Amino acid sequence: MNQEEIGKKIKQIRIDNNLTQREFSDILGVTYQAVSKWENGKNLPDISIMKDICDKYNYKLDELLGNSYKAKKNNKLKYVIIAIIIVIFLSVLFLIIKHTNNFHFGTINTSCPEFKITGSIAYNSNKTSIYISDLKYCGDSKDNTIYKRIESTLLISKNNVDRNIYTDTKENMTLDDYLDNFSIQVNSNICLTFDGDLSLSIYAYDSNDKATIYRIPLSMSDSCSIK
C-alpha cells in the first residue's frame, strides 16, 4: 500500500469535486490538517474513512488502494448512451437510405394488451428491412419462472400457412430477462412476395418441456405497397 499514491488519489478526488481541504475535511468529520497529511503521503485515513470517501464520491475502494484511479461504472448510464447511439445511427442510416434508394418507412406496433412493442419497417422495390428494438410484457402477474428455453419466431401468415422469416433461441432465463434483451433486425423481400399478416410467436419451455405460448399480432403504419 503506497501512502503517496493513495494521497494523490484522495487529492484528485477532492479537486475533481471542487472542494478545498477545509470543505473536504468538514464533510468527512476530520481536521483539514489531517486531509493535508493524507494528500502529502504523511499519513493515511483509516479504512472506514476511505470507504466513506469512496461511497460519497462514487469510487471503488480497491481502486483507491490499488494502482488505478477510476470512477465506478454506471451501467444504467452506459445502457442509455448505447441506446441513444443506436437510435441516432439508425435514424441517420434511414435518412441516407431514404434519399438514395427511395425507401418507404413505417412503424410496427401491436394490438395485443399483454405486450408493448417498438419497431420500424423500411422498404423499396428490392428490399424490406424490419427492426424491432423493444418488447415489454404487460401482463397482470409477474412471471418469475426460469425457462429452460425461450424461442421467438417472426411469421407472415396467409390462408392458415405460416412463413418463418426470423427465429431466435435463448436458454435458462426468465421471460422478463429475455424481453429486456430482445432485438430483431431482418432483411427480406416480404412486402413483395408474400402478402399476409405479420406476427411474433414466443414459446417458453419449462423444465418439463411444457410450453407457454404467446402469439403477438403486429401491424404496420404503412401498407407496405410500392406505388
> Is pLDDT at 74 greater than 80 in this prediction?
no
In CATH, the number for domain 103-220 is 2.60.40
Residue 133: strand, helix, or coil: strand
**How far apart, in whole angstroms, are the C-alpha atoms of residue 177 and residue 160?**
32
Q: What is the pLDDT of residue 227?
A: 43
**Assigned architecture for domain 3-65:** Orthogonal Bundle (1.10)
Domain ranges of the chain: 3-65, 73-102, 103-220
- Look at 24 and 59; give whichever has higher pLDDT: 24
Residue 70 confidence class, pLDDT cut points 50, 70, 90: very low
| DSSP tag of 19 | -
> If you average pLDDT over each of 23-37, 91-105, 123-137, which comes out highest?
23-37
- Within 10 A of 149 (CB to CB), how many other CB atoms are there? 16
- Look at 8 and 159; give whichever has higher pLDDT: 8
**How far apart, in whole angstroms, are the C-alpha atoms of residue 226 and residue 104?**
8
Half-sphere exposure of 166 (CA within 13 A, CB side): 21
Owner of C-alpha cell 418463418: 164
User: How would you class 46 by CB atoms within 10 Å of its CB: exposed for 0-12, middle for 13-18, buried for 19 or more?
Assistant: exposed
pLDDT in tens, 143-164: 778 999 999 998 888 887 888 8
Tell me the pTM.
Answer: 0.50
> Is pLDDT at 73 greater than 60 in this prediction?
no
Query: How high is the mean pLDDT of the chain?
Result: 79
